[in-house]
Chain A
């Protein structure tokens, strides 16, 4: 049995981040201000419509849609870490499960909003529910994203129940109503064997359920593209291509979150160098798989260079998008794989820098998937002005695209201030087991 003082130390260490500090005020103030700027930009769009963006009849899916794909992609990491690694009994991953779940929930919930930003008339979102056709991947996407948000929320909440109990007991300084919320959320947790069993079983069921749902959410997102006959999208491997890409950006996001949580909440004893090392190896693995899919996605049409594919691929390899394309592939994928093969690079700081490069690369990769294809239609519209043919996002569009990132940061920050981001109960149990 572990001695009580050790237990107390774990509990107080992991509860310490909870509560409002001056840094929190400054950080949230900064985020709120930035969000206000973005919302101001959005007001223009609400007033004038999508004409304030660079979107025209040719390129009607631009930065907003690539942003959406990026958000859905990043949210997939919850499934990989808490479900796949959890179910296969990978012990080192369990302290990270909650961080992954928070990221999953934040990104998935915000993804829905990103889609709305692509609508000149946001109220027409209701039309999807009123007139949507079951045959349309758009309806499947709305369904599956909603289900994923629900399951992610449950997967975040249920393992938290014992910790809520601890929060209620230990956080005596916080206002009474807040403590009562913790009590309410802890569902009379006593840690009896029956409760324990029900909780484990529920988590187990959800962990299994979330795997097909998560695969579906990004496969369906890929079908939004692959089900149309267009150069660059007309591909049979788009589903797995998107899913593997999603693991890359999600893993990078978790690494960055780990770094900041660890440093600002002094969690060095709980998120250790071992965790970074393992996450680094995981990033190499998923990146290699993604690289393999990239090779297929570009090598096969690139070898044949069919007429329309050729226009598209030339723009990517040597034309208008060449710099972006090669930066994404080399700095965002190949170099990180090579660097992370070395143990020294899998230390917290260098790896976070690499993860930022990977995450940026992942964002621009979505841009490269969405925009150039729209610029290369099979049947070009005749006699259109130049600004129809080539898309450049406007400033307003860029600000509106930044808003979801700010929202995600807000959600992640606030959640980490109200729940322990490292599972307390589980950490104690692990220490007991390893004794």
Chain B
């Protein structure tokens, strides 16, 4: 009896717990992302620029902060961003939410630049009197100095990525920088392995899969994304001959129903034009008959 009671209680608690979880799902932001800060100092100007971006991209769902005019028909309801719950999130968390999105909340990683994303957050923060900004050490002007080198070992299929910065005072090895590797595919980027951090000489080693289809000679487009505390975010795109050579003719190469007019199937072109010409010919014949009738009636 007691046992079943405990079971019931646990079930009940579980139910409440899971229910509340649906209502307000927490954002599981990784610790390093959570600690990320803006390199832009938030002030009235940045908030103003952010407001313009917000009006264009966010207001339709979230409404104006503090006005409770958010779009309540969505599930979950987009929160009012001026509310205490949102303001309790760190800048890094807000930035992460903007980058990844969730459900109805879109990802703005590819539609807003990093600068624009921070300015939007600056606007959101302008509704919080208690907010004190911690500015990151990142200097975005320095990202140009960074060079990313790829070293492919074709035997083991390992790729070594080395990241350096060419400072005036000499070459600096980027230690403990975050590195992501992607391969460009039809509909987006495929991440290779996990996110890694550079070692003491600014290097990481990625195990590359042996079976990724490349173009006709095996070339793949490899995207390296570097995220460093000081140098910021840097991306480089490299063509590397490491894929399996594949030669699949494109679906729009040959004549087909779904192709452009120039590549319409012959049978459609022939059927359509011959019917049209046939009907046109008959109609001309009729017009000729009408002229004949007129001629016959002349005095």
B38-46, B221-229, B286-294: which lies at the interface = B286-294
Residue A143 at the B interface, CB < 8 A? yes
| A186 nearest in chain B by CB position | B297
Question: Contact between B282 and A188 (Cβ–Cβ < 8 Å)?
Answer: no
B279 and A192 contact, CB distance less than 8 A: no
Stretch from A196-204, A301-309, A339-347, A397-405 that touches the partner: A196-204
Measured between beta carbons, the chain A residues less than 8 angstroms from B298 are 188
Residue pair A158, B296 in contact (C-beta under 8 Å): no
Q: How many residues of B contact A (CB 8 A)?
A: 30
Interface residues of B in 71-119 (CB under 8 A from A): 73-75, 103-104
Stretch from A95-103, A131-139, A234-242, A326-334 at the B interface: A131-139
Interface residues on chain A, size class = 20 to 34
Establish whether residues A202 and B279, one from each chain, have CB atoms under 8 Å apart when the complex forms: no
Q: Is the CB of B294 within 8 A of A188?
A: yes
* Binary B-proximity of A121-132 (CB < 8 A = 1, otherwise 0): 000000000011
Name the residue among B103, B293, B294 with the largest chain A CB count within 10 angstroms.
Answer: B293
- The answer to whether the Cβ of B16 comes within 8 Å of any Cβ in the partner chain is no
Decide if B237 is an interface residue (CB 8 Å cutoff).
Answer: no
Q: Is the beta-carbon distance between B276 and A187 smaller than 8 angstroms?
A: no
- Among A131, A143, A154, A158, contact of B276 (Cβ-Cβ < 8 Å): A143
B264 within 8 A of A: yes
Interface residue? B265 (CB, 8 A): yes
Interface check A349, CB cutoff 8 A? no
Interface residues of B in 233-260 (CB under 8 A from A): 257-260
Contact indicator B261/A133 (Cβ below 8 Å): yes
A135, B293: Cβ atoms closer than 8 Å: no
Given A187-B297, A188-B296: A132 touches B286 (CB 8 Å cut-off): no
Does B283 count as interface, using CB distance less than 8 angstroms?
yes
Q: Is B269's CB within 8 Å of the partner chain A? A: yes
Q: Per-position contact with B for A318-356: 1 when CB-CB < 8 Å, else 0?
A: 000000000000000000000000000000000000000
Cα-based distance from A187 to B294 in the complex (angstroms): 5
Question: CB distance B258 to A190 under 8 Å?
Answer: no
**Interface residue B285 (Cβ < 8 Å from any Cβ of A):** yes
* Among A28-36, A205-213, A414-422, the stretch in contact with B: A205-213
Residue of B nearest to A191 (CB): B297
**Contact across chains for A161 and B74 when beta carbons are under 8 A apart:** no
Chain B residues within an 8 Å CB radius of A382: 104
List of A residues within 8 angstroms of B257 by Cβ: 135
Contacts of B282 in A (CB 8 A): 205, 209
Q: Is A4 an interface residue (CB 8 A)?
A: no
B289 near A201 (CB under 8 angstroms)?
yes
Question: Could you say which residues of chain A place their CB within 8 Å of the CB of B290?
Answer: 158, 187, 202
Verify B261–A134 contact, CB threshold 8 A. Answer: yes
Pairwise interchain contact B289-A198, C-beta atoms closer than 8 A: yes
Name 7 A/B residue pairs within 8 A (Cβ), A-sorted: A135-B259, A135-B264, A154-B283, A190-B296, A198-B292, A199-B289, A213-B279
Residues of B within 8 A of A (CB): 73-75, 103-104, 257-261, 264-265, 268-269, 272, 276, 279, 282-283, 285-286, 289-290, 292-298
Top 8 A-B pairs, shortest CB-CB distance: A188-B297, A187-B294, A383-B104, A202-B289, A133-B261, A190-B297, A134-B264, A135-B257
Residues of chain A whose beta carbon lies under 8 Å from any beta carbon of chain B = 131-135, 140, 143, 147, 150-151, 154, 158, 161, 187-190, 192, 194-195, 198-199, 201-202, 205-206, 209, 213, 382-383, 385-386
Given A132-B261, A188-B298, A209-B282, 8 extra CB contacts under 8 A: A133-B260, A135-B264, A135-B268, A143-B272, A147-B279, A161-B293, A199-B293, A205-B282
